[in-house]
Amino acid sequence: MAFLLSSFAPVWPILLLAKTAVAVPPAHPMITPAPDLEARVVQRDLNPGSYIESIISGFGSDVSSYIASGVPQFFQDFPSGEAVESSLGITDSDLAPSPTQVLNIPAYGNWTEQGWNVRVHGNVYKQPNITEDRLNDLANVFLVGTDIDELAIPEQEQARNFTASIFVVQQPDVNVTINFENDVDVRPDASGGVVNAEGGVQSIDLPYETTPEGDFDTFIILQNTTGPNGGHLIAGNTTSSIQALNMYTNGTNTGNATAYLVPPTGFTIISDIDDILRVTKIYDPVEGLLNSFARAFTPWMNMPDIYANWSATIPNFHFHYLTTTPEQVTRNYMEFIYATYPLGSFDTRPLNFSDVSATLSIRKFLLDKIFQTFPERKFVLVADTSNSDVMSDYPQLVRDYPGQVQCIFLRNTTATDATDLFPYDTSGFEGIDQRQYMFFVTPDDLRNVDIVGGNCYNPAVVQNVTFGYQGRGFGNAGSSIRWDGSWSWLSVAMALWLCLL
């Protein structure tokens, strides 16, 4: 089956399952690197007899090499820059009157001998003027099996807004200035013990211009300037409190975010979002796309209660949210998180990487960065079994950073959702102390764990973990699953993408 979109094919390889191989996009410049960080390629270990490989081998040369390697293209090859202009039939001169906008991503900062060191990152772009009819056409690209006219009015509006956030034109070579203010609205007992900083008000020009893809990502040292009432930032080696400063970008009212100054010791939770904090069903192609592009974000069961309890009971718990969704579409994620879960810093997939290997290992790249930024902190990792990166990267972090991984909590999506047909590999957990990790089914399974005490396993939650491939057709999960041809080629490819996000 060839899934062809003639208006985009020349500039945007969306997910073409044609009879020719999909071209690998050209290399992009590297983001501003942090010291001593190396991106590592995470090789996908597809068992020769596995369900996934049986599907891929059935496709032969018809399936993209990106999909076959476990990295689907649909959410990696969003159009950018000239590709957006070409697909919309516009030029730089058409965009000139449009205001410059900034996606400023909530930041974390660490304490150094020079003072507080804040990682500032985001993207500078312009929003083209796109008609509603054209947005409907573009939205239908993502709504596979559904037309936007078939959606409820609120879902149509969200689909158009989401699509508009994809079709933006990134602005290269821009000088970015960040203004820091101590005016954060901290919610009592809902922010992991975050306090409003009493100093640090200042304006800083970032040391680098934006990349060709409009990205900026760099650490900057804050001066301990006096606040409105004569207060100052508290030195990181004299406090256990997380201090918060708001960040505003010069020249726009869209580039607002918060920076969290995190002391050297304590606990940091790194939480995935899809199918952990919100209902996404990334393993179900049609539902996953509708939940991502059209439906309002909905919390997964009572997970907000669990996070609120952790926020109120674990002293100065630093919340960090990590999603490998590309940064163009993460504003919805951030708005949802801050309306539903404790305040915290954020990581997402930037647009510019130097090579395919960095793209393949984006989650590990971001995890290594925060682990190396806080070498004395202990980390709590929360995700689900539908993501192959998580299943390999999280147990590897236990070995790479001895003593830093306090807990690993993984939701077993195959246990509660019959539409999750894909196996997961638990072999990385062999040899790790059971008290350090737990596979859970509902949020309530997490109620009786002792994060601070290091007992992360609730004995009431039966594990029965064998080390190897699990899930439908594997391990103890039931009878084998065979692909009977009832799924379209597109559906299978989309499932491969969604289950590996």
Would you kindly state where each structural domain of the chain is located, as residue ranges?
132-166, 267-499
Q: Alpha-carbon Rg of the chain, whole angstroms?
A: 22
H or E segment at 101?
strand 100-105
Contact in structure between 327 and 351 (CB atoms under 8 Å):
yes
Which among 124, 140, 142 has a CA at the least distance from the CA of 132? 140
Q: What are phi and psi of 163, to 5 degrees?
A: -65, -40
Tens of pLDDT along the chain (501 residues) come to 332 223 333 333 333 233 233 333 333 333 333 323 222 222 223 333 343 444 334 434 333 333 333 333 345 556 777 778 887 888 888 899 999 999 999 999 999 999 999 999 999 999 999 999 999 999 998 887 789 999 999 999 999 999 999 999 999 999 999 999 999 988 766 678 899 999 999 999 999 999 999 999 999 999 999 887 889 999 999 999 999 999 999 999 899 999 999 999 999 999 999 999 999 988 887 888 899 889 999 999 999 999 999 999 999 999 999 998 888 888 999 999 999 999 999 999 887 654 445 555 788 989 999 999 999 999 999 999 988 889 999 999 999 999 999 999 999 998 888 888 778 899 999 999 999 999 999 999 999 999 999 999 999 998 888 899 887 644 444 333 233 333 343 444 444 444 444
Q: Token pair 């869209």 is at which residue?
A: 254
Contact in structure between 439 and 410 (CB atoms under 8 Å):
yes
Q: What are phi and psi of 84, to 5 degrees?
A: -65, -45
Tokens, residue 429:
């957990």
Report the Cα 340 to chain-centroid distance in Å.
17
Tokens, residue 113:
């001998």
Kindly write down the DSSP assignment for every residue of 220-269, as one continuous string: EEPP--B-TTS--PPPGGG--PEEEEEEEETT-SS-EEEEEE--SSSEEE
Tokens, residue 225:
């300037």
Distance, in Å, from the CA atom of 382 to the CA atom of 498, rounded to the nearest integer, reads 18
Q: Looking at residue 314, what DSSP letter applies?
A: S
Topology (CATH) of 267-499? Rossmann fold (3.40.50)
Give the N- to C-terminal CA distance of the chain in Å, as an integer.
Answer: 24
Contact in structure between 384 and 413 (CB atoms under 8 Å):
yes
Distance, in Å, from the CA atom of 135 to the CA atom of 90, rounded to the nearest integer, reads 15
Tokens, residue 341:
């879960």
